Structure 1
Amino acid sequence: MNRFLPLALGLTLLPGFAAAAPRVIPGFATPESVLIDGDRRYVSNIGTTLDPLAKDGDGFISSLGADGTLIDRHAFPADGTTLDAPKGMAITGGRLYVADIDRVIGFDIATGIRGFEASLPAGGPSLANDLAATGDGALLLSDTLRGAVYRLDPATRGWTLLTDAIPGANGIVYDAATRAALVAGLGADFSGGDLYTLPEGGPARRVEGGPHGILDGLARLPDGRLLVSDWIALSPPTPGRLLLLRPDGTDPTPLDLGIPILGPADFGAAADGTLWIPATLGDAVVVAPPS
């Protein structure tokens, strides 16, 4: 790693990250999200151009092994159906669910067959962005354009609006122990947002002392700390960053990933600390190993 790169990007080297050189896996089509499930990594691809609202049928989900080997570039859909601009994903009940503009699609993991679809409630344009499984079979979904978070019951296809007060709602994680979600926002006009906590039955509240930026992916590490990605700027494209947070979402500290990443979106964190980060504007996935 170029020892001057962290200084050029304004990053700080923290223990536990980027001691080894990151690996870049090319060959994707505007990758937006990485979901880790055991020894598999699933990557959602928006398509040939960065158009998160285009209903063009050119989206797909790739499957990789834990070592980064490409298993199937077009793993889903595998049944002749189409995806438009797939983004965040979650797994529950043997299905891989994905947010796709104004709907949630579910695929049987074993067969690749599409067995579920639920359109978002009416109410104007939507941008279904990220998904989180609650552990009881339900899903939480963020809608960026509506600034909303919904609860979806796949058994009934019923929606419950939990909040519409998170400008640019994006990345979401759920804590079954506290029955609360954390939601990263990128702002109503996509120029900068904040981190919010969303307790069950309560209003969304901005985390005081939390990060501010064009926030995207959000993940909780095994030690309880949080990571959130920040695009920093959309125009002109600017190398983004990942911010390490305390368990309560405060005290953001940049990580040195050892490589500039254009468009760090909805990343995945493996149990061993390895980060799988979609470089959306680079058509690649960056694998940053722990020290």
Structure 2
Amino acid sequence: MRRSVPVRATRPRPSTTPGRPDQLRRTARAQRDLWGERHHPQFPSTEQEFTLSRTARRLSAALAAAVVLASAAPAASAAPAAGSSGRWWTGPATVAARGTDLYPESVAWDPTRRAFLVGSAQAGTLSTVGLDGTVRELAPAFGMVSTLGIKVDLPRGRILVAYSDFWIRQAMPLPQPPTSGIAVYDLVTGQLTQRIPLFEDGGASFANDLAVDDDGAVYVTNPASATIVRIDPDGHAAPLVTDPRLAPEVVGDNGIVWHPGGYLLVGHYETGRLFRVTTAGTPEVTEVGLPAPLAGADGIALRPDGALVVVRNANGRISGVPDGKDSVTVLRSYDGWRSARPVRTADRWPVEGPTAAAVTPYGTYVLSGHILALQTGHGPTPEFTLRRL
């Protein structure tokens, strides 16, 4: 893969929006309120994973049982869900969002707005989704691209979005060269402040999902290549690692999360394998031992209790990935993600084509944005769904 030309970060100018300091203070309060003093207060360290007490295990089992009971409530009703700070919140079991032709592929939770953020595989926009299903555009499209993976970076006051014209280019000829990268938006205003081009080397131009580490470095997957790219805090992009196990026959590495233990977890869509990737020194890629592969693994999300939510779908069947299915699996590891086992599986997910999940104070919500309808031309779709796990 051709190296991306280093791009110097354009630091956002201080906003003249009245009340911005108050907004930033509210952002800090939101972070403490929803996640505690640290970004992920309930993540155990590697040593703690080995020495989890019986009391903690019993408490985890009780909370898991409560979540199972809550998810069994009727879709139209609201049921309590445990917040990561130990408080109990009330949220809907299902959010039916009205957004004709948006086709969102990824979702993130914005604690400053207490709303979801979604992109658009068709329109290239960034929108908020309220718990009542109200959709409002936060940022317009900046070109003929799909907006895909989304991360809210609270400490740095920004929203990071992976974008690409890969799918659009497959559907129609475009007057532009292959376009792909990371877009940076101001968390308060929603204004686009920076674009960092990545993977713009022809057919492999497909920035798909991203993760952010504690220092603000960004890691980006590309299902059309075997390379994970790192963008340093100053905005310079370079390959982190290239590994043949990440390479695709059809669709390769996809979902990615940063673990506070100092490594990445990366899912491979077509093989269903999960990888642990260290980032310090010389990066090392090791496969996480699973009882069985999770073919069709798309978006992944790390919960504050250390469990990993893996969203699977059957969308790849039209491209030659036969083993995927619409389901959600929760994995847990007790050895620093050298191995993991399922602790919960929701087979036959009730809404077709789930692609991503967002962890919120109301529980984990799974997005079904009708991507398959877009790929097969069976749209338009008047709404998309966020359903609590």
Which bin holds the TM-score, normalised by the shorter protein? 0.7 to 0.9
Give 1:259 deviation, angstroms.
5.1
Instruction: Please provide the CA RMSD for this pair.
Output: 2.6
Correspondence for 1:175 among 250, 259, 265: 259
Partner of 2:72: 19
Q: Structure 1 residues 76 and 83 mapped into 2: Cα distance closer, same or farther (>3 Å)? A: farther
Q: Structure 1 residues 266 and 147 mapped into 2: Cα distance closer, same or farther (>3 Å)? A: farther
Give 1:83 deviation, angstroms.
5.4
The reply to whether residue 225 of structure 1 matches residue 307 of structure 2 is yes
Equivalent residues of 2:307, 2:332 under 8 A apart: yes
The 1-side partners of 2:295 and 2:364 are apart by 24
Partner of 2:187: 109
Partner of 2:216: 137
Equivalent residues of 1:222, 1:271 under 8 A apart: no
Give 1:121 deviation, angstroms.
4.8
Matching residue's letter, 2:207: A
Matching residue's letter, 1:203: E
Partner of 1:269: 359
SS of the residue corresponding to residue 181 of structure 1 reads strand
The 2-side partners of 1:135 and 1:171 are apart by 18
SS of the residue corresponding to residue 135 of structure 1 reads coil
Q: Structure 1 residues 147 and 253 mapped into 2: Cα distance closer, same or farther (>3 Å)? A: farther
Q: Deviations over 1:122-149 (max 9, x none)?
A: 5542211111111212111111101221
Partner of 1:44: 119
The 1-side partners of 2:235 and 2:104 are apart by 30
Unaligned runs of 5+ in 2: 1-63, 76-92, 165-179, 374-380
The 1-side partners of 2:232 and 2:224 are apart by 22
Partner of 2:128: 63
Correspondence for 2:150 among 54, 78, 89: 89
Unaligned runs of 5+ in 1: 1-13, 48-57
The 1-side partners of 2:366 and 2:235 are apart by 33
State the TM-score, normalizing by the size of structure 2.
0.60
The 2-side partners of 1:209 and 1:256 are apart by 17
The reply to whether residue 246 of structure 1 matches residue 332 of structure 2 is yes
Q: Structure 1 residues 222 and 112 mapped into 2: Cα distance closer, same or farther (>3 Å)? A: closer
SS of the residue corresponding to residue 30 of structure 1 reads coil
SS of the residue corresponding to residue 213 of structure 1 reads coil
Question: Counting helix residues as a fraction of each chain, which structure ranks higher?
Answer: 2
Equivalent residues of 2:149, 2:209 under 8 A apart: yes
Alignment coverage as a number of residue pairs: 258
SS of the residue corresponding to residue 112 of structure 1 reads coil
Give 1:258 deviation, angstroms.
8.3
Q: Deviations over 1:209-243 (max 9, x none)?
A: 25320111111122211110111453369861101
Q: Structure 1 residues 121 and 252 mapped into 2: Cα distance closer, same or farther (>3 Å)? A: same
Equivalent residues of 2:97, 2:133 under 8 A apart: no
Correspondence for 2:286 among 191, 200, 205: 205
The reply to whether residue 186 of structure 1 matches residue 269 of structure 2 is yes
Q: Deviations over 1:185-213 (max 9, x none)?
A: 113xxxx3311110123321121225320
Percent identity over the alignment?
26
**Structure with greater contact order relative to length (CA < 8 Å, sep ≥ 6):** 1
Matching residue's letter, 2:134: L
Give the 4+ runs in structure 1 shifted more than 6 A: none
Matching residue's letter, 1:95: R
State the TM-score, normalizing by the size of structure 1.
0.78
SS of the residue corresponding to residue 274 of structure 1 reads strand
Give 1:260 deviation, angstroms.
1.9
Equivalent residues of 1:261, 1:279 under 8 A apart: no
Equivalent residues of 1:60, 1:83 under 8 A apart: no
The reply to whether residue 215 of structure 1 matches residue 297 of structure 2 is yes
Question: Counting strand residues as a fraction of each chain, which structure ranks higher?
Answer: 1
